[in-house]
């Protein structure tokens, strides 16, 4: 950062904020459409003299509190706020809670992948939405509540999933899952749901506690999985996890190589949906 760059950015952003947008009277003729220096100082709760020195590059190393106040008063977007923190030589504070909103663009993606098993999870692997093919493949999640919707909880304390794992695969999967959850905890240390989930997992699962105390940090991403479906039998599928920039949402997609028995079985699963069939009686192809 150069102090001049920080000050120039604040001045440019100040010039674009009309006083009425900040709840201030226009106050007669103005040389510029934006905020006056004393108005921004008032909104940010700092002195006019300090703001003047910041804008002129004569003051350096503003505190995180000052940067946050300026970002709020200037109505900065998320990328602009992040840039202001970087210019001040500061790390942008993490959001208090994990994003859990399905954005319109993600919803459009789900709509266009109607024939492929797709689910969206938050940063702690809590299921937010699953399309019908995913529900047919992995089990209908519509009745799941609370921790039942969390993949980490279901693996360590719940009924698990339809994915078949060898002992070696299970060890690697668990290590990656816990390391990924620790990454989320580092990004959202104040999220009450995440803290409660980790506490329950540590108390209820010795294996989770062992892995958590090891302190590994990482990401759980692409894998090749064998799913034991109760009606069509085992399917070996590619499982890709796509990250949504800016929201920490994870999109999980299951696909099969074309012209394979797994692709045929996956197509049959999609056709069957989540209809109830007698246990132990697979449908006829």
Indicate whether 64 and 110 sit together in one domain: no
> Domains in the chain: how many in total?
2
Would you say residue 97 lies in a domain? no
pLDDT category at 283 given cuts 50, 70, 90 is very low
Indicate whether 179 and 231 sit together in one domain: yes
For 78, the token pair is 């998320």
Instruction: Give yes or no for residue 81 having a pLDDT over 80.
Output: yes
The residue segments making up the domain with residue 127 are: 104-272
Cα distances from 210 to residues 123, 179, 188, 196, 201, in angstroms, run 21, 12, 22, 18, 11
Q: What is the DSSP letter of 209?
A: H
Q: What is the CATH number of the domain that holds 238?
A: 3.30.450.180
Would you say residue 174 lies in a domain? yes
Indicate whether 77 and 109 sit together in one domain: no
pLDDT category at 72 given cuts 50, 70, 90 is confident
Indicate whether 130 and 77 sit together in one domain: no
Alpha-carbon distance of 201 to 196, in angstroms, equals 9
Indicate whether 26 and 153 sit together in one domain: no
Cross-strand bridge partners of residue 227: 163, 235
Indicate whether 71 and 25 sit together in one domain: yes
Would you say residue 197 lies in a domain? yes
Q: What is the pTM of this model?
A: 0.72
The phi, psi pair for 13, rounded to 5°, reads -70, -35
Indicate whether 131 and 246 sit together in one domain: yes
Would you say residue 99 lies in a domain? no
Would you say residue 149 lies in a domain? yes
Would you say residue 40 lies in a domain? yes
> What is the tens place of the pLDDT at every residue in 13-24?
998 888 776 566
Indicate whether 162 and 37 sit together in one domain: no
Last residue of a domain, one of 87, 119, 150: 87
Indicate whether 45 and 136 sit together in one domain: no
Would you say residue 79 lies in a domain? yes
- Which range is most confident: 51-60, 68-77, 146-155, 220-229? 146-155
Last residue of a domain, one of 26, 53, 87: 87
Alpha-carbon distance of 153 to 204, in angstroms, equals 10
According to the model, what pLDDT value does residue 32 have? 66
Indicate whether 45 and 166 sit together in one domain: no
According to the model, what pLDDT value does residue 232 have? 94
Would you say residue 50 lies in a domain? yes
According to the model, what pLDDT value does residue 282 have? 42
According to the model, what pLDDT value does residue 43 have? 84
> What is the tens place of the pLDDT at every residue in 130-146?
999 999 999 999 888 88
**What average pLDDT does the segment 190-200 reach?**
95
Instruction: Give yes or no for residue 2 having a pLDDT over 80.
Output: no
Indicate whether 82 and 108 sit together in one domain: no
């Amino acid at each position: 950062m150069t102090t001049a760059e920080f000050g120039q950015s604040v001045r440019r952003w100040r010039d674009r904020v009309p006083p009425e947008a900040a709840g201030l009277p226009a106050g007669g003729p103005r040389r510029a459409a934006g905020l006056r220096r004393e108005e921004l100082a008032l909104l940010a709760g700092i002195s006019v003299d300090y703001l003047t020195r910041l804008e002129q590059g004569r003051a350096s190393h503003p505190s995180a509190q000052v940067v946050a106040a300026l970002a709020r008063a200037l109505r900065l977007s998320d990328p602009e706020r992040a840039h202001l923190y970087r210019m001040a030589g500061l790390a942008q504070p993490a959001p208090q809670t994990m994003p859990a909103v399905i954005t319109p663009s993600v919803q459009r993606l789900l709509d266009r992948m109607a024939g492929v098993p797709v689910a969206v999870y938050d940063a702690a692997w809590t299921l937010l939405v699953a399309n019908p093919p995913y529900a047919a493949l992995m089990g209908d999640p519509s009745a799941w509540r609370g921790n039942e919707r969390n993949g980490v909880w279901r693996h360590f304390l719940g009924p698990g999933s339809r994915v078949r794992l060898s002992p070696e695969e299970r060890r690697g999967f668990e290590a990656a899952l816990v390391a990924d959850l620790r990454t989320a905890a580092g990004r959202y240390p104040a999220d009450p749901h995440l803290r409660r989930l980790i506490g329950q997992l540590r108390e209820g699962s010795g294996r989770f506690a062992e892995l958590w105390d090891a302190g590994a940090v990482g990401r759980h991403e692409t894998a090749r999985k064998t799913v034991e479906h109760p009606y069509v039998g085992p399917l070996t599928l590619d499982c890709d996890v796509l990250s949504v920039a800016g929201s920490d949402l994870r999109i999980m997609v299951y696909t099969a190589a074309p012209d394979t028995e797994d692709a045929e079985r996956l197509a049959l699963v999609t056709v069957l949906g989540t209809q109830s069939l007698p246990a132990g009686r697979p449908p006829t192809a």
